[in-house]
Amino acid sequence: MINEELKTLRLTKGITQAQLADRLNITTSSYCRKENGKLRFSLKEAKILARIFNKSVEELFTN
**Residues contacting residue 37 through CB under 8 Å, at least 6 positions apart:** 3
What is the sign, positive or negative, of the torsion defined by CA atoms of 42, 43, 47, 48?
negative
**pTM of this prediction?**
0.89
pLDDT for residue 1: 52
According to the CATH classification, is domain 3-55 in 3.30.365.10?
no
pLDDT: which is higher, 63 or 13: 13
**Residue 22: what residue type?**
D
Q: What tens digit of pLDDT does each residue of 2-50 get?
A: 688 899 999 999 999 999 999 999 999 999 999 999 999 999 999 999 9
